[in-house]
Structure 1
Amino acid sequence: MTTSLPEGATPPPLPLQGLDVLFEGKRSALFWLALKSGFWTVLTLGFYRFWMKTRLRRWYWSAIRPGGHPLEYVGDPLEKLLGFFIAVVILTFYIGIVNLALMFVSFSVFQSSAVGYTASFLGVIPVWFYAQYRARRYVLGRTRWRGVRFGLEKGAWGYAWRALVHWLITIVSAGLLWPRMTFWLEKYKTDRTYFGSARLEQGGNWWMLYRAAIPFALGLVLFAGLTLWLFWLDPVIPYSTEWFSGDAERIEDQFWTEGIAGNLMQVIRLLWLIPAMLVMVYGAVHYRFASRRILASHKRAVGVQMRSKLNSLRISVIYVLGTTIAYLLLFVGIFSILGLALSLLGAGTFLEAQIGGVEPFGALPRLISVAILAALYLSVFLFWSVLHNVFVTYPLMRHMAVTLSLRDVAGLADISQRARDEFAEAEGFAEALDLGAAI
């Protein structure tokens, strides 16, 4: 599906009008690609995942076609693998040396390990933001359109400390300044993004994102109001000091007879919290993608303007249905494996196998027994990954692509090629910190 231009070749002429983005890719083809690459990933105990991710990205990128011309992903799985090893070595040094020093200071000064664990966790957070920026830089640096490379300037540590400051401000403001954090962090990345020689710019202001947060704010207010009503103004289980007099058995008996059973209709009112939580979940998904739509419509370069018509309600439906299908298979698969083990071994033998009393599959050697169970277990997660690609990632990327368009594209004619971005660790930190699972 991928079409590429030779280095230095002239791309096709641009239309006078804007460019709509097409998505050309069949779900069935993605299913078989994800299944085959996932099978090899399981067979190689995870090492093939760098090749799997590369193949999936090439498929998705070639399916997204602004103006009919496909994107190209030219990442190399070997550089991903080597980058992962480099990142693991660096993180091992950090975890081994820095954490050891932190724990020593914690025990010496504070006579407790809690301070050391807390400092160790907080110390990983800037590395996490650093890895996010580096992963985005790598993906952009290995993406081309019409033969012209994208790119992202260096600035991972600058992004990391800015993210820490914005998160601190957001937490202190009890979340009221979340749109401010979203805007400024995205602006930092966008203003350092290039398409060839053209530098992108994030326009607008952070106030414009508040309208995207309205559904979540309404859900939060509804949930807070119901909580206040159910547990303070008209408690579901009225508080009584008499419950706490006497022995533990009497307290428990009073709680269930007078508290729960005696106020059953009151307890049923707790069900009102379920729709409030669903509204909050929808609001969170709505904000995430509606803010992307608003920000995308304010991205521009010289002579180029982007526009997005992303539908957050459609995105929410995709998330709900897709994740339901994927996780339903996961649960069915896990329980099927348990059922298979019980049917083969019997309940008593199966329980003894769990504590090491007998071999899991009778006369089979322990190594083969473990391999069979591991293969079945990994196969379930393989199919979960395949279905997640087919029913979540695929429709999400298709919808985001077809709702995006380019306006005022005259500036594209003046864009020249940029040099290839070379850096050693590729997405290694994102992979090592489990941030690189997404396409």
Structure 2
Amino acid sequence: MGVDFAGNRSALFWLALKSGFWTVLTLGFYRFWMKTRLRRWYWSSIRPGGHPMEYVGDPWEKLLGFFIAVVILTFYIGVVNLALMFISFSVFQSSVMGYSASFIGVIPIWFYAQYRARRYVLARTRWRGVRFGLEKGAWGYAWRALVHWLITICSAGLLWPRMTFWLEKYKTDRTYFGSAKLEQGGHWWMLYRAAIPFGAAVVGLVLWAMWIIGIDPLLTGMEGVIDDLVENPNDDMRFEQAFFNFAHPERLLLVFPLLMLLIYGAVHYRFASKRILADHKRSGAIRMRSGLNSLRVSVIYVVGTTIAYTLLFVGLLAIVGLAFGLLDMDMLFDIGAGEFNPLGAVPRWLATGLLAMLYLGVFLFWSVLHHVFVTYPLMRHMAITLSLVDVAGFSTVSQRARDEFAEAEGFAEALDLGAAI
């Protein structure tokens, strides 16, 4: 069974622009409705076997869940921070330990929110009337994620594929389509082939750094220079000899292709690992097959983000130029004196309002272009390269009960995790 994608780019552009405009106009409150409408559009465009997916999430659920999460997080962070700062000042006579412990204390909630957001999205997704679902287990995922991240950091990143596999397996093995339970097969070391480009880039950067620092130093004539500078810190000639006497400076240009390879390797690993994991997902006899092309995904990322961020950069420059034209330049240097004198006949409130609206408008168009040139082609490519094998097993799938939970994906919204669309 193949998967079609029926969405039209121009329709998405106008939907994202219109919903984004209302989000700006309502100072962000409409974003729950915007996210719901965009998800419904994307979901209905993905059509396994010609049958569209459905997203039945309610924006009021999201809004209420956001308020609930904010109240809980405010109480938790406020009380915990107060206790941590008291202990930090009492024991260490410093606030550094308190701030560090406070940051670490938020990390488990971050993983908890990720799992809860995925659970909500699956619970509000249907295909041919049958609901998806994810079992409870957010705190189990949070502590597992902490342990895997600690192991990965201690291994200097060498065990990153191990973390990717086991965290995805934890979520997949608790995922349902109706009564059918999904399983993640395979082994974690199979993901190492997806990490080859990224590993090659890291090795290349390390070798390059060793070359220009140790083997054939970029800065020559350093013998005795440091001691001379300590004795005569005002010796400008010696300073120039130390820091401006380069040997073969063209070697610095090698860093650019290595950084490009590093970026490509990161994108390649992210999506190639998704393809490998998808090929080992199954539910009984039903299996997934993914033909996702990592090079195609990298091109989408590079082209799409370049277009979106170019508009953002140009728009912000235009706003700065307009601000110089509308506002009295003395204001930029005499802010403390309270001087804010518009030029000409333009009222103060009008100049400020115009700049604020243009600022929000630039970010609105950036978001729209990101949807059109990044999210849309990525979802389309991931959909049309996916297929299902041995689909006769769908005949035994029955409906599952609706998953009810009050805070929806409020924690992900409150922590700004950008959960799915």
Into which bin does the TM-score normalised by the smaller protein fall?
Answer: over 0.9
Q: How far did 1:402 drift?
A: 0.4
1:206-244 per-position Cα deviation (integer Å, ceiling 9, x unaligned):
011010001111111101000000111111113333243
Unaligned runs of 5+ in 2: none
Q: How far did 1:337 drift?
A: 0.8
Whether the 8 Å contact between 1:285 and 1:312 is mirrored in structure 2 is yes
Counterpart for residue 4 of structure 1: none
- Summarize the alignment of residues 17-416 of structure 1 with structure 2, pairs less than 5 Å apart: 19-238=1-220, 239-243=222-226, 244-250=229-235, 253-260=237-244, 262-263=245-246, 266-345=248-327, 347-348=329-330, 352=334, 356-360=338-342, 366-416=348-398
Unaligned runs of 5+ in 1: 1-18
Once residues 405 and 356 of structure 1 are traced to their aligned partners in structure 2, the CA distance between those partners, rounded to angstroms, is 64
With normalisation by structure 2, the TM-score equals 0.95
Whether the 8 Å contact between 1:427 and 1:436 is mirrored in structure 2 is no
Whether the 8 Å contact between 2:88 and 2:98 is mirrored in structure 1 is yes
3-state SS of the aligned residue for 1:96? helix
Of the structure 1 ranges 267-276 and 120-129, higher mean CA displacement relative to structure 2 is found in 267-276
Once residues 101 and 230 of structure 2 are traced to their aligned partners in structure 1, the CA distance between those partners, rounded to angstroms, is 42
Q: How far did 1:326 drift?
A: 0.3
**1:355–1:198 Cα change, 3 Å:** farther
Whether the 8 Å contact between 1:303 and 1:411 is mirrored in structure 2 is yes
Which amino acid letter does the alignment assign opposite residue 42 of structure 1? V
Whether the 8 Å contact between 2:218 and 2:248 is mirrored in structure 1 is yes
3-state SS of the aligned residue for 2:27? coil
Counterpart for residue 420 of structure 1: 402
Q: How far did 1:365 drift?
A: 6.0
1:21-53 per-position Cα deviation (integer Å, ceiling 9, x unaligned):
000011000000000000000000000000000
Once residues 358 and 410 of structure 2 are traced to their aligned partners in structure 1, the CA distance between those partners, rounded to angstroms, is 29
Q: How far did 1:368 drift?
A: 4.5
3-state SS of the aligned residue for 1:436? coil
3-state SS of the aligned residue for 2:231? coil
3-state SS of the aligned residue for 1:249? coil
Whether the 8 Å contact between 2:161 and 2:189 is mirrored in structure 1 is yes
**1:144–1:227 Cα change, 3 Å:** same
Q: How far did 1:259 drift?
A: 2.8
Counterpart for residue 14 of structure 1: none
Once residues 434 and 353 of structure 1 are traced to their aligned partners in structure 2, the CA distance between those partners, rounded to angstroms, is 32
Q: How far did 1:351 drift?
A: 5.2
Counterpart for residue 5 of structure 1: none
Whether the 8 Å contact between 1:326 and 1:384 is mirrored in structure 2 is yes
Once residues 125 and 361 of structure 1 are traced to their aligned partners in structure 2, the CA distance between those partners, rounded to angstroms, is 49
1:82-122 per-position Cα deviation (integer Å, ceiling 9, x unaligned):
00000000110111110110011011011111111110010
With normalisation by structure 1, the TM-score equals 0.92
Q: How far did 1:361 drift?
A: 6.2
Q: How far did 1:339 drift?
A: 1.3
**1:432–1:360 Cα change, 3 Å:** farther
**1:242–1:163 Cα change, 3 Å:** same
**1:360–1:135 Cα change, 3 Å:** farther
Identical counterparts, % of pairs: 72
Which amino acid letter does the alignment assign opposite residue 233 of structure 2? A
Once residues 350 and 370 of structure 2 are traced to their aligned partners in structure 1, the CA distance between those partners, rounded to angstroms, is 30
Which amino acid letter does the alignment assign opposite residue 35 of structure 1? L
3-state SS of the aligned residue for 1:358? coil
Q: How far did 1:356 drift?
A: 3.8
Whether the 8 Å contact between 1:135 and 1:436 is mirrored in structure 2 is no
Once residues 356 and 247 of structure 1 are traced to their aligned partners in structure 2, the CA distance between those partners, rounded to angstroms, is 46
| Equivalent residue pairs, number | 418
Which amino acid letter does the alignment assign opposite residue 86 of structure 2? F
**1:56–1:355 Cα change, 3 Å:** farther
Once residues 21 and 171 of structure 1 are traced to their aligned partners in structure 2, the CA distance between those partners, rounded to angstroms, is 38
Whether the 8 Å contact between 1:50 and 1:80 is mirrored in structure 2 is yes
**1:209–1:437 Cα change, 3 Å:** closer
Which amino acid letter does the alignment assign opposite residue 242 of structure 1? V
